[in-house]
Structure 1
Amino acid sequence: MHPRRSAQDVLLCDFCETAPLQSHCKLCHINLCVICVGKHLSDSSKDHNVVPFIKHIKSTSNYPKCPKHAEKHCEMFCEKCAIPVCSTCVTSGEHEGHKFSDVLKKISSKTESLQKDLEELETRIHPRYEEMASDVQTEKAELETKYGKLTTAADQQGELLHREITAIVNKRKSDIAEMKNKHLAALNKNTDEITNRITELRQIIQDLKKILDSNDVSLTSSYKSRNSEFRTLPSKVRVTLPSFSPQKINKDQLNEMFGSLPPLSINTEHGDTMKSAEAVSSPPVKPLLDEPRITATIDTGYGRYELRSVSCLSEDQVWTRGDNKTMMLLNLQSELLTSIKTKSGNTPRDIAVTRDGDLVYTDYHDKTVNLIKNKQIQTVITLQGWIPFRQGWRPLNVCCTAANNLLVTMESDDETQSKVVRYSGSKEKQSIQFDDQGRPLYSSGYYKYLSENRNLDICVADCDARAVVVVNQSGKLRFRYTGHPSNTKQPFDPVGITTDSQSHILTADNDRIHILDQDGQFLRYILCGLEDPSGLCVDIRDNLFVAEYRTAKVKKIQYL
């Protein structure tokens, strides 16, 4: 039995420790009897807030139980000891001179920190490790080809020297094979290191999710972040591939003249330390060029007035789609690298490239959004057809977000409504259709190009409304841009839209492109003699790619 309780289990005053308690001072965290309330309030050196003890008990129902004093709730958090404590713990002298804070605020702050750690691990750190592992696997896959070229060069030189240099040829091939094995061994070791770190990362992510799901105060309080440890990426093996240098044949110096093969150079570079999410949020400033310039032109092979969309796979490769069922991957030399036909045989409504480099396309007539991975088409979203008393929807344009979600503009089956829907995989996460007053954000038209800005705003080029409509991440309207005020000759017809690392918004309009800042202020036009620009995209170096509807060409433009 508790030493301060009687046989009837009566709680006693913390002040006199003899009379039953009836009140509680919320500011001093002390229980008081009727007599001691007056004494406590007479101390005018501090503020007091005395309430009936029953009311205090009800108000503390959300606080965790004290592990040392079963009848108490932990209303405070000891900053020095990093543990929740009750009023008895505080007055016991064990925490004398320590600083205290509200435990619920502390746990809330700690939980928020856990959420941020989990998000960084899942969305930034873990994907980089996976990317590194993939790069090493790719390098391993190319070993046979690269070293095969060296072997072929050695064979060709050996055939010229016939029997006199057979022994030397074999020696050089043996050296190459040994180098390849060392190269492969180094990459295998690097792979094992990265794989082990990935396994550890996955375990940490799993443990964090368990902590968050359990609501266990002890586990949450004792959690210590290891994110800084994993921001320093594993060491990356850099191997300098040797080159074969054939020489003119001289029998007196056969060994030297055959060609040298330097030893394999295997160096381990220390892994880069990833910047925290906060540091990454501020990219280096890139001023606008006074005169933007076209740096490349791609002939897509589509006919005039057929090219509709372009999406960057890399700095020198772009996906295109036109008014037929075939989507084409082209390089800057206008060479066709890959072509994919839609699964349904319909013309794709729009295309986008995911953060993993896969192609996504929408099928307006089939009511689907499809993912192309390794040339295999997988339907990830299927919209329902018309149901009595319920509106059906069709997908229009699509973009991939920084969090690897999909944003899709949609039109209702009766062509009277439009909205933007966010998907995580095939699961709908958010629908954006109306403003705070319940008015439609978007017109009912067919053309709704969209892009996510760096600040996570959702930017829609609503051609039928003659406006760029920008909402924040939660779907709240930020602004509408309806064209430069000085232009009264031509109507504003925004068709394509994209954003860059500076949070600029770029939208195509007639034969020019408007550049806006993230708050909708007009900055500059890009002209460059463009002819009906429609689809737009920006690569990782902020080069702009423009799909010209009239000429069926894609133009690469430097404007920063």
Structure 2
Amino acid sequence: MHPRRSAQEVLLCDLCKTAPLQSHCELCNINLCVNCAGKHVSDSSKRHNVVPFLHRKSTNYHKCPDHADKHCEIYCEKCGVPVCSTCALFGKHKGHDVSDILEKLSTKKESLQKDLEEFETRIYPRYEEMASDVQTEKAELETKYRKMTTAADQQGEILHREITAIVNKRKSDIAEMKNKHLAALNKNTDEITNRITELRQIIQDLKKILDSNDVSLTSSYKSRNSEFRTLPPKVRVTLPSFSPQKINKDQLNEMFGSLSPLSINTEHGDTMKSAEAVSSPPVKPLLDEPRLTATIDTGYRLLYSVSCLSEDQVWTRGDNETMKLLNLRGKLLTSIKTKSGNAPEDIAVTRDGDLVYTDNITRTINLVKNKQIQTVITLQGWRPLYVCCTASNHLLVTMVSDDLKQSKVVRYSGSIEKQSIQFDDQGRPLYSSGGYNDIKYLSENRNLDICVADCRARAVVVVNQSGKLRFRYTGHPSNTELSFNPVGITTDSQSHILTADCDNDRIHILDQDGQFLRYIHCGLFGPYGLCVDIRDNLFVANGDNKVKKIQYL
């Protein structure tokens, strides 16, 4: 008997082994005293469920199917099933590795608790968000289809007006021709009538002469028969005819306007990474002193953007229409000229390794695949600026309206618009506007935040995946020289946000919540576009028109 136990046995804490137990952790399946219970729940890595000992749930042991008087209080590691002591010592599980069923239960409950947490905090909210998105789309259906119906009515009215105008013009032309025809006939009738009147007078005069036997009248008479033998001219009018054209329904349909087909595609649902994969990337601490590991001469007069194809190959764009693929030694591997001959506004590399570029003059977003350029998106009323590719292989594009009064970020899956981000919860614009050449590089972070370097606003604007504003970063208080001037922006495997402060010749490193961590200098001058490769090497489009490769992790 325990020295501290009297006739009535006292149950002790499983941790300190000295104080009487008062509580029980149902997750870990251990008994706790008051002091140990407080320490136990302070471990925030688990969601402990500590209850009064008398309120604990009793462990429900299964009866052994082979030994009716035995309970399965042992866990066979090899077979992965609970077994009784007889089976473990003498039966079919003899010699197998075994463990305590309560310890196994505790471990399993921890795993179940993690599953529950992921369902409650990550998976279920995403399903709710998807359901909400579908409901929102359904709510907008009536308005969108009503707009199309109204547009069809308006086009019909325009065509009706045009057809009515044409009909009235034809009728007016017919009436005018009729009047001219009638006038010509009236004139001809008058001429003939006058000659008839004159003939009647001549006939009357001749009869009078013949009746009178007057020598003087007879001798003075001069014949006019030859004059009237030539009949007056007869007006001949060719009656106009109306030749209606056969109405071609196809041409009429084309003239009226086309209606694109309804496309209903069921995309494969995105597979969410596990909580461990999302929250626990391999830790790569920041170097105290970042190192310049390569310098690539691009040959541009002005260099603006760099985008990694691999660890040793980068796409670049500058002040002309040619985009260049270079290796770390600056060797030109491939060059592509834009379809329009305009300098591209920005470039990005897709998950498939294809090149994407924007052309704000032609309002297009273009894909270069196997050196062939395909225009995948043409905007109306907006001009595309900067572009990035997301983890789900979507495109995020910053754009400005034609009147320069609005800016937004739009997500595309292929050529289909999936999301538009423009205003905060109070209806205020998230991004500045004011010029076709507004600098708004952007990047998707590992936690799916969308980060925009809004140069005109002198701020990094970060929203979450649904477009809700998380924070604005306007520079570190140590910026005592020139104002913070964010240009290029990128993110890495540690969810760091890196942005190029062009005027101050340095790069700011922030954590995913916008907290400043440190600067990168490395002899930079006017850093502009940024990108990182799969090993978190940083590539900088520098002001000397060279790409700098920097190791900072």
**What secondary structure does 1:280 align onto?**
helix
Give the drift of 1:416: 1.3
Match of 1:540 among 534, 540, 543: 534
Give the drift of 1:280: 2.8
Is 1:513 the counterpart of 2:507? The answer is: yes
Is 1:334 the counterpart of 2:323? The answer is: no
Which whole-Å CA distance do the structure 2 matches of 1:338 and 1:533 have between them? 24
Q: Deviations over 1:115-146 (max 9, x none)?
A: 99xx9xxxxxxxxxxxxxxxxxxxxxxxxxxx
Is 1:434 the counterpart of 2:419? The answer is: no
Which whole-Å CA distance do the structure 2 matches of 1:280 and 1:365 have between them? 42
Give the drift of 1:412: 0.7
Aligned to 2:355: 359
Say if 1:210 and 1:359 are closer, same or farther in 2 by CA, change over 3 A: closer
Whichever residue aligns with residue 300 of structure 2, its letter is Y
Q: Deviations over 1:523-557 (max 9, x none)?
A: 00000110110000000000000001x31100000
Q: Deviations over 1:488-532 (max 9, x none)?
A: 321010000000000000000020000000000000000011011
**What secondary structure does 2:339 align onto?**
coil
Aligned to 1:298: 296
Aligned to 2:551: 558
Which whole-Å CA distance do the structure 2 matches of 1:417 and 1:211 have between them? 33
Which whole-Å CA distance do the structure 2 matches of 1:462 and 1:448 have between them? 5
Is 1:280 the counterpart of 2:277? The answer is: yes
Whichever residue aligns with residue 532 of structure 1, its letter is G
Give the drift of 1:278: 3.7
**Corresponding pairs, count:** 289
Is 1:473 the counterpart of 2:465? The answer is: yes
Give the drift of 1:436: 0.3
Say if 1:211 and 1:467 are closer, same or farther in 2 by CA, change over 3 A: closer
Give the drift of 1:301: 1.0
Aligned to 1:124: none
**What secondary structure does 1:534 align onto?**
coil
Give the drift of 1:360: 0.3
Whichever residue aligns with residue 484 of structure 1, its letter is H
Give the drift of 1:328: 0.1
**What secondary structure does 2:310 align onto?**
coil
Is 1:526 the counterpart of 2:526? The answer is: no
Match of 1:460 among 432, 452, 458: 452
Aligned to 1:492: 484
Aligned to 2:407: 418
Q: Deviations over 1:324-374 (max 9, x none)?
A: 000000000110000000001111000000000000000000000000011
Structure 1 segment 77-116 matched on structure 2, within 5 A: none
Which whole-Å CA distance do the structure 2 matches of 1:331 and 1:429 have between them? 35
Match of 2:365 among 361, 366, 369: 369
Spell out structure 1 runs of 4+ moving beyond 6 A.
Answer: 209-212
Q: Deviations over 1:186-232 (max 9, x none)?
A: xxxxxxxxxxxxxxxxxxxxxxx7999xxxxxxxxxxxxxx9xxxxx
**What secondary structure does 2:343 align onto?**
coil
Structure 1 segment 314-333 matched on structure 2, within 5 A: 314-333=310-329
Say if 1:290 and 1:359 are closer, same or farther in 2 by CA, change over 3 A: same
Say if 1:210 and 1:405 are closer, same or farther in 2 by CA, change over 3 A: closer
Aligned to 1:136: none
Structure 1 segment 22-101 matched on structure 2, within 5 A: none
Whichever residue aligns with residue 522 of structure 2, its letter is C
Which whole-Å CA distance do the structure 2 matches of 1:555 and 1:211 have between them? 39
Q: Deviations over 1:215-274 (max 9, x none)?
A: xxxxxxxxxxxx9xxxxxxxxxxxxxxxxxxxxxxxxxxxxxxxxxxxxxxxxxxxxxxx
Which whole-Å CA distance do the structure 2 matches of 1:475 and 1:368 have between them? 24
Which whole-Å CA distance do the structure 2 matches of 1:520 and 1:296 have between them? 29
Whichever residue aligns with residue 413 of structure 2, its letter is S
Aligned to 2:212: none
Whichever residue aligns with residue 360 of structure 2, its letter is Y
Q: Which stretches in structure 1 are left out of the alignment for 5+ residues? A: 1-107, 120-208, 213-226, 228-274, 385-391
Q: Deviations over 1:151-191 (max 9, x none)?
A: xxxxxxxxxxxxxxxxxxxxxxxxxxxxxxxxxxxxxxxxx
Aligned to 2:391: 402
Aligned to 1:289: 287
Which whole-Å CA distance do the structure 2 matches of 1:299 and 1:451 have between them? 25
Which whole-Å CA distance do the structure 1 matches of 2:299 and 2:267 have between them? 54
Whichever residue aligns with residue 539 of structure 1, its letter is D
Aligned to 1:181: none
Which of structures 1 and 2 has the bigger CA Rg? 2
Whichever residue aligns with residue 448 of structure 1, its letter is K
Whichever residue aligns with residue 427 of structure 1, its letter is I
Give the drift of 1:470: 0.2
Aligned to 1:393: 382
So what's the TM-score if we normalise by structure 2? Answer: 0.50
> Could you say what the CA RMSD is over the residues aligned between the two structures, in angstroms?
2.4
Aligned to 1:348: 344
Identity rate, percent: 80
Whichever residue aligns with residue 534 of structure 2, its letter is I
So what's the TM-score if we normalise by structure 1? Answer: 0.50
Q: Deviations over 1:363-404 (max 9, x none)?
A: 0000000000110111111101xxxxxxx1000000000000
Structure 1 segment 140-151 matched on structure 2, within 5 A: none
Give the drift of 1:414: 1.0
Which whole-Å CA distance do the structure 1 matches of 2:539 and 2:478 have between them? 27
Q: Which stretches in structure 2 are left out of the alignment for 5+ residues? A: 1-118, 131-265
Which whole-Å CA distance do the structure 1 matches of 2:523 and 2:399 have between them? 32
Structure 1 segment 164-203 matched on structure 2, within 5 A: none
Which whole-Å CA distance do the structure 1 matches of 2:536 and 2:326 have between them? 19
